[in-house]
Amino acid sequence: MVTGNSHLSMKTITLCAMETRKTGKIDRLETKNPGILQKLMAMGILPGMPITLLRKSPSYLFEVDQTRYAVDREIANHIYVSC
């Protein structure tokens, strides 16, 4: 698990639970699969980064640091966002 700074006044949810067009900050990446964690980190998806969910279907399309990414539900469930 990789964590960032969390704020008590914000709620933390998975990327899957976010509403589209909402922005938050990546709170943590939580998975027991080192391959998924390594993939997300290599893509630049790191705690503390702002994230905007653009679309949920057919894949989770989101933007981090002016780059758009598409991942499936399994991967999106490992990205926790404070919003």
- Domain coordinates in residue numbering, the chain: 2-82
2-82 CATH pick, 2.40.110.10, 3.40.30.10, 3.90.1530.10, 2.30.30.90: 2.30.30.90
Specify the pLDDT at position 52.
Answer: 98
- Spatial neighbors of 44 by CB under 8 A, at least 6 apart, are 64, 65, 67
Specify the pLDDT at position 5.
Answer: 55
Positions of E strands within the chain: 2-3, 12-14, 23-29, 50-55, 60-64, 67-71, 79-82
Specify the pLDDT at position 10.
Answer: 77
pLDDT in tens, the chain (83 residues): 666 554 456 799 999 999 999 999 999 999 999 999 999 999 999 999 999 999 999 999 999 999 999 999 999 999 999 99
Specify the pLDDT at position 70.
Answer: 97
Specify the pLDDT at position 3.
Answer: 60
